[in-house]
Amino acid sequence: MAAPDFQGLAQAGIQRLRAYDPGHDIVALRKKYADRFFVELGSNENTYGPSPRAREAILDNLNALHRYPDPLGADLKRAIALKHSIKSEQILLGNGSHELLMMIAQVFSGPETQVLASQYGFAVYALAAQAAGAELMLANALPADAQQSRGHDLEGLSSAINEKTRLIYLANPNNPTGTWFSSAAFADFMAKVPGDVLVIVDEAYLEFVTVSELQSALALISQFENLIVARTFSKAYGLAGLRVGYIVAHPECVAVMERVRESFNVNLLGLAASEAALGDDAHLQWVIEKNASERAWLIEQFHGRGLKCGPSQTNFVLVDFQKDSADIEAQCVANAVVLRPMRGYGLPNCLRVTIGNRDENRQLLKILDEVLA
């Protein structure tokens, strides 16, 4: 008996999809380079790790692993609400912000609707739109020689809105470019968006921001009821392995999304560690300062080698090698340094480089010097 035509049986949007590409098989590479200095700079992880309080919270909860986690995540929601001066009813927790970004499209878009994003936006936005059966529309990014190289063109995005537009995905700061737009510019943009078009601002890297012109869009939540802000504990809080994220939105938006949220979607250790990490402002500030210092140093080193890289307010930089970077990236991997290729984003000349600690950054530069010699 022949197997069913699974491709044909899939929904139309799924048929057109390619699975999310996480990059290299990092586990296999860790094993391969177990006896070498293995430098992982491809996934924008926090090299300094989580708060000691988060580690303690994990240990404190190990004896409860036979119990389901709180399906409401009530304690973590209260902590987030207190942190941002909002109400718990405005918060939806997810298994990483990735799950929530997908869920938004599942709930609020579909066939006969359009989802709008920027040309060089996070790949998950396109996945979310297509999986929901919606039409994906990409607005052109700013040019490579702009001050915010390849960043969001908010005027172009607002001009692309039409009667079919249901969702707009933005990231501030943006992945993979590292660029940003000011809070004032975003407020002007929101004023142009129709009230029945939902705007999702992905602030996965917001904690790393050090410029005063960019503040969280959470400040506009009460003014624009069609605004959804996504945050994560995977980056600055150093809890990528536990997968915890959240959105902040109008309570009615959250209530509708709750209908499709998987029960117990955030695990016990993730809930405990995230709540503890949220309360350790000193560790977070230390991480931010270390990242900012290393970011400035690494950008200076790249520029000193004649390499182009745009401005960044994240824990990574986008480096333009002015030629196809596939061989450069492959040689780095062969020398135990993992970077993120950008061909899938339409940027074959670029590699995205996570900001590591000084030892990791020095090793990266050493290998790059050898590869580019």
**Is 90 exceeded by the pLDDT of residue 13?**
no
Residues 93, 104: Cα–Cα separation, whole Å: 12
Largest CA distance in the chain: 65
Residues 137, 141: Cα–Cα separation, whole Å: 12
Count of alpha carbons within 13 angstroms of residue 104, beta-carbon side: 34
**Is 80 exceeded by the pLDDT of residue 23?**
no
Domain ranges for the chain: 22-44+282-372, 52-279
- Which residues face 318 on adjacent strands? 352
CATH number of 22-44+282-372: 3.90.1150.10
Q: Is 272 helix (H, G, I), strand (E, B) or coil?
A: helix
Output DSSP code: residue 348: T
Q: Which fold has domain 52-279?
A: Aspartate Aminotransferase; domain 2 (3.40.640)
Which of 177, 299, 278 is CA-nearest to residue 236? 278
Q: Are 170 and 152 in contact (CB under 8 A)?
A: yes
Q: Are 260 and 106 in contact (CB under 8 A)?
A: yes
Record the pTM: 0.95
Q: Do domains 22-44+282-372 and 52-279 have the same CATH topology?
A: no
Q: What is the pLDDT of residues 272-314, one digit of tens each?
A: 999 999 999 999 999 999 999 999 999 999 999 999 998 999 9
pLDDT recorded at residue 361: 98
- Which residues face 137 on adjacent strands? 116
Residues 373, 361: Cα–Cα separation, whole Å: 18
Q: What is the pLDDT of residues 182-217, one digit of tens each?
A: 999 999 999 999 999 999 999 999 999 999 999 999
Kindly state the tokens that stand for 169: 């995905």
